[in-house]
Amino acid sequence: HCIVVHNCETVASSAKKALQNGSNRVELFSQEELSVNWMKHASMPQVRVLSEPEKRVFYKKWKDSELPAISCQDPMARYLGLVRRDVVKVVRKSETAGESVAFRVAY
């Protein structure tokens, strides 16, 4: 997974196509999209992409339709390099429970 940051308003489609050729997945972000590091923001919950073995176990218990979804076009999903059917574990601080764990499936 590769992230490219640009400072242009638009990126030519030929440039996007050239970046997408190859074995790595490339995401283009504008400087504005990454002006805040959301992964380190105080209000951002802990987020982790499940490994392939964890995902297999997870899918034995749950179906995609039973879980909240996250779009692969969501800036955080793009930052994490999510592809369809990836599962993200989200851990939030909770005043009543200490912490709350949720999962989201990329679509």
pLDDT score at 5: 57
- Phi, psi dihedral angles at 69 (to 5 degrees): -110, 160
pLDDT per 10-residue tile (average), the chain, 107 residues: 60 68 69 69 82 93 85 88 93 88 93
pLDDT score at 84: 92
CA 17 to chain centre: 21
Report the predicted TM-score, pTM, of the whole model to 2 decimal places. Answer: 0.65
